[in-house]
A and B are shown apart, each in its own frame.
Chain A
């Protein structure tokens, strides 16, 4: 009866995460044995760096998927937020904080639009966010005039992702800020998902929406809130990618949503809603980037890397099904 109360990141299904974590370790051991270059500090930092954007997007998706929704627009929304940051900073010359606020604010706004389409107009989430995906892709191209927007006039912008606060304190650990931001976002998201009202209603909606409605909860409001928070987090991803490239690339973004959803699913979150953890999602994101990085180091051709990633996704979900069947 008296089990210890689950700690923040490990709630609620620890065993499930252990499996994903074990797979991640196994992959790392395998690649270390296969290539001496894998365990080099430079390479590990580049894996961390490469995980940042997909990891943050996957966190955004986790909220939506836990509530039994789906968001196909996270990739192009990320780009749209980057473009809006470019408009604020480069075209209008506003200070850095305004650009950051613009990215997150427009992200939340677009998320709210998706949420309203789904909650109020009853458009199925798949279709609503598919529409938003294309709409935002087009808007990004229109607003930027189909050309990249560079942030050369805002020197602090590239520091968001590239500098290393940790490295300043501990010179031996030159971990870029992008990774720090990923972990801060993950921690905040884990608190929000497990401890906050928003997270509670996300799980409740994913588990049994009708029951939530009959309990007198404003279901529409919380759906919009879930998509808005997800959108705001996509804004953070937009800042990270724009900062890394020192530019907003309007043609980028499509395809990122599938990587993000894959990371969520590998991390053990069910697409039918009601279960899921941020820790699992982060592990899922790392499995994907370790795989890409390791296969590249082993000089596996790009096209085969994609094949392997596909197989891994199917295997991950299948092991999860097996585990459930046994339980």
Chain B
């Protein structure tokens, strides 16, 4: 691999409103290389790549493409230089078809350049899909595709630019194992065609599978570049966090004799939930494992009353209860932390205090309907301290905090509401490694205090590390239950793919 780098970034600096985001950073990408960019959230990976994609202007440094210095003033300029970026939050127009999305801004024309030549559009898109070995009708509205297919549409869009550099920001965050394999197949194909790929990810196990080299960033600086093969994960993690993580899983406590707090019997809802039964004990962390779409989220939403159930019995502390809405669930002490915090869990434009108290406002309402603001602030401050939420004050807007701290605020909200049965749906999605281990610690503490926890997670190491007992689902059914000490990744995968 002595080829000339397709991208060289040197001495890169960037500040936002006087706050330094990047200082003297460098990065190099060879043609046909998959180069992983690692680092905690806020380390500067995304900013670095947004400079390369022309989304932000640089303050200092230079970018060389195939040895030539270039100015990338806009996304369009970067596209024309053959640089394409696929954002973590996919940027697609859901109402438009796949083909229309791919060629937005570059539609083939007819009728004196005024009309869009739809036939040519679909033909060209079909050709790209064919080159990718992808079975997809270019006329399908993107909103009807799975996340995995939507990502393929983004990749097809990048290919349509004849891109020589493809930046992918956490492409597998929302993909299941099969879909990830499909994505890797496409990535290898692009690699063989000489496309340089920047791969941003938090998933360490993917590096060994797909990456050639790894560059680690921390606090707005490039820490170093190492080959992916032969570098122990511990080394990379140490580079990322600047210290070693004490993350050795302790032997799970024996909770098998604790009282049952939640019993679900014969739960049904369409094809997503078929005859699901399980019990949850006090002080227990019950892991829900399975592929995406196995019905785990649907079970949680049904128990929480967010979706209507067709059949099934729910008992809370032995008493049969009817849960018709989240309000009923909360009244029985059940809390649900959704996988999509921004959409369902938080009012991100409001401050920490309001979000913590969102489910318990009534408690802080005094005579005459006025809020007791002093009590509200005290309660919020209490949880900020107890969960070590990093925020300048309880009046900070939640959207300005990191993903890990946002997650803690949702937890605080349910704790304040006295919920002792908690459903955590993908609690560490999009959270960096440092914050992850804090969330793990917090879940362990909550369980030790007697809370009963269901943790849904698509990351097997996480399920294995956290759970006292593991329930595996596949296609709406519970296909197996494993005590933590007998569970292995292989056993879980076997149960999760049972047809």
Contact = CB atoms under 8 A, between A and B. Distances in A.
Interface of A: 1, 3, 5, 191, 195-197, 200, 203-204, 206-208, 210-217, 274-275
A215 B87 CA distance: 12
A261 B101 CA distance: 28
Contacts of A216: 74-76, 79, 105
Interface in B58-115: 74-76, 79, 87, 91-96, 100-101, 104-105, 107, 109, 111, 114-115
B130 to A, nearest CB: 15
Contacts of A207: 93-96
B107 A274 contact: no
A200 B94 contact: no
**Which secondary structure characterizes the binding site on chain B?**
loop
A254 B93 CA distance: 35
Given A196-B114, A214-B75, A203 B93 contact: yes
B118 interface: yes
B114 A197 contact: yes
B93 A195 contact: no
A215 B95 contact: no
B315 to A, nearest CB: 30
Given A215-B75, A216-B75, A208 B116 contact: no
13 contacts: A1-B137, A195-B118, A203-B93, A204-B96, A207-B95, A208-B93, A211-B104, A212-B93, A212-B105, A214-B87, A214-B91, A216-B74, A216-B79
**Would you list the 3 A-B pairs with minimal beta carbon distance, nearest first?**
A216-B76, A207-B93, A211-B91
A1 B101 CA distance: 19
B264 interface: no
Contacts of B107: 197, 200
Contact of A196 (B96, B101, B116, B137): B116
A274 B105 contact: no
Contacts of A204: 93, 96, 100, 104
Contacts of A200: 96, 100, 104, 107, 116
A276 B74 CA distance: 32
A275 B95 contact: yes
A215 B158 CA distance: 10
B55 interface: yes
A48 B334 CA distance: 58
Given A1-B137, A215-B75, A274 B94 contact: yes
B114 A212 contact: no
A211 B102 CA distance: 11
Nearest to B135: A1
A214 B55 contact: yes
A214 B139 CA distance: 22
**Which secondary structure characterizes the binding site on chain A?**
helix
B118 A217 contact: no
A208 B91 contact: yes
Given A203-B95, A214-B91, A274-B95, 19 more contacts: A195-B116, A195-B118, A196-B115, A196-B116, A197-B109, A197-B114, A200-B107, A200-B116, A206-B95, A208-B92, A211-B91, A211-B104, A214-B55, A214-B75, A216-B75, A216-B105, A217-B105, A274-B93, A274-B94
Interface string B149-187: 000000001000000000000000000000000000000
A213 B104 CA distance: 10
Contacts of B118: 5, 195
A203 B100 CA distance: 11
B104 A210 contact: no
Contacts of B87: 214
Contacts of B95: 203, 206-207, 274-275
A205 to B, nearest CB: 9
Contacts of B101: 211
Contacts of A210: 91
A212 B100 CA distance: 11
Nearest to A2: B137
Contact of A211 (B74, B76, B93, B137): B93
A275 to B, nearest CB: 6
Interface string B210-253: 00000000000000000000000000000000000000000000
Nearest to A274: B95
B135 to A, nearest CB: 10
A257 B330 CA distance: 45
Nearest to B114: A196
Contacts of A274: 93-95
Contacts of A203: 93, 95-96
Given A1-B137, A196-B114, A196-B116, A215 B94 contact: no
B99 to A, nearest CB: 11
A156 B100 CA distance: 45
Nearest to B53: A214
B334 to A, nearest CB: 25
Contacts of B91: 208, 210-211, 214-215
Nearest to B80: A216
A211 B115 CA distance: 22
Contacts of B79: 216
Nearest to B143: A207
Contacts of A212: 93, 104-105
Nearest to A191: B115
Contacts of B104: 200, 204, 211-212, 215, 217
A197 B96 contact: no
Nearest to A212: B104
B352 to A, nearest CB: 27
Contacts of B92: 208, 211
A133 B472 CA distance: 60
Interface centre among A1, A206, A211, A275 (most CB of B within 10 A): A211
Contacts of A211: 91-93, 101, 104
A5 B117 CA distance: 13
Contacts of A214: 55, 75, 87, 91
B54 to A, nearest CB: 9
Contact of B116 (A3, A5, A197, A206): A197
A50 B27 CA distance: 67
B452 to A, nearest CB: 33
